[in-house]
Amino acid sequence: MNPNKIMIIEDDPIIQTELKNLLIGNGYEVSVLSDFLNPVANIKKYNPHLIILDIKLPYINGFSICSEIRSFSDMPIIFVTSSDTDMDELNSIMLGGDAFITKPYHTAILLAKITSLLKRIYHTKQCMDYHWQGAVLHLENSSLEYNNQKAELTKNELKILSYLFKNAGKICTRTDIIDDLWDNQLYIDDNALSVNINRIRDKLKEIGLNHFIQTKHRQGYLI
């Protein structure tokens, strides 16, 4: 499946680089616009699936770029800006932007918006399963399958396992897991994490999956 292409139109060099790294790390193909004098030509050439557009840019205003894009394409545009005045938000909507995020943004929220926009506009069927060592994590119905046996998972358990599966083969620190859960509005603390991991292990044992989650002493968990 071809990765979705995202184009970043932003003038700050650090944000350009880091945003690109963030998106690539989440499986997207990314291009950063460098020629602010001919933005539209470059956009047409790269033909991205989605654009992240800063309003305040050199030479040209983000809103005008948006209007120009809208003259030939319906691709989703996410406006990003430091200013949070309502005029900006209104303009974004009226000129055809699909979302409006203020800096500094929560990256989890930005990523979630990108995913939902892509799903909505391109009707891409998201891969709803993670596979690892014979186990299949079904996100849609919140369960883990192994050897044709299924274990039902709670919201917390599903999120923890998603994180472990996404980083399969790598050690995930407790703090990173807690961080990820908090980004998804699941506010667990350190103790709750241990409790949840143990519960997951019990459930996995019931379907014959032993020692799936390893504890790396003082470092974290690993699958």
Partner 1 sequence: MNKKLYFKNLLPSFLLQILCMLLLSLFLLAVGNSFDSILFILFTWIGIDFIITSFACQKRKKELEKLLQLQEQLKEQYLIPELMKIPERADDQVFYFLLKTAEKSMLEQIDQIRRERMEYKEYIEQWIHEIKTPITAIKLLCENNRSPFTRDLLTELEKITRFTEQALYYARSEHTEKDYSIHEIRLFDIVHRAISDNKYLLIKNNVTIEITESDDLVFSDEKWVQFILNQIIINAIQYRTKQPKIHIYAKQQANQVCLFIKDNGIGISADDLPRVFEKGFTGKNGRIRQNATGIGLYLCKRLCNKLEIGLDLTSDTNGTVILLSFYINHFICQVQ
Minimum distance of partner 1 from residue 210's CB (angstroms): 30
- CB-count exposure of residue 55 (10 Å: 0-12, 13-18, 19+): buried
Strand order, beta sheet including 77-81: 29-32, 5-9, 50-54, 77-81, 99-102
Minimum distance of partner 1 from residue 197's CB (angstroms): 17
- Rule CB under 8 A: say whether 214 interacts with partner 1: no
Question: How many residues lie near partner 1 (CB under 8 A)?
Answer: 31
Q: What is the CA radius of gyration of the chain?
A: 21
DSSP bridge partners of 136: 131, 145
- Cα-Cα-Cα-Cα torsion 101, 105, 107, 109, nearest 10 degrees, comes to -50
Q: Tell which one of 25, 35, 71, 140 touches partner 1 (CB under 8 A).
A: 25
The count of other CB atoms within 10 Å of the CB of residue 20 is: 17
Q: Closer to partner 1 at the Cβ: 38 or 194?
A: 194
Q: Closer to partner 1 at the Cβ: 185 or 210?
A: 185
Among the residue ranges 148-156, 160-168, 178-186, 213-221, the one whose residues contact partner 1 (CB under 8 A): 178-186
The count of other CB atoms within 10 Å of the CB of residue 44 is: 12
CA distances for 122 relative to 29, 97, 154, 185, angstroms: 16, 16, 30, 27
Q: Tell which one of 43, 66, 69, 178 touches partner 1 (CB under 8 A).
A: 178
- Rule CB under 8 A: say whether 26 interacts with partner 1: no
- Rule CB under 8 A: say whether 86 interacts with partner 1: yes
Q: Tell which one of 36, 46, 105, 146 touches partner 1 (CB under 8 A).
A: 105
- Rule CB under 8 A: say whether 127 interacts with partner 1: no
Q: Footprint of partner 1 on this chain (CB under 8 A)?
A: 12, 14-15, 18-19, 21-22, 25, 82-86, 102-109, 175-176, 178-179, 182-183, 185, 187, 189-190
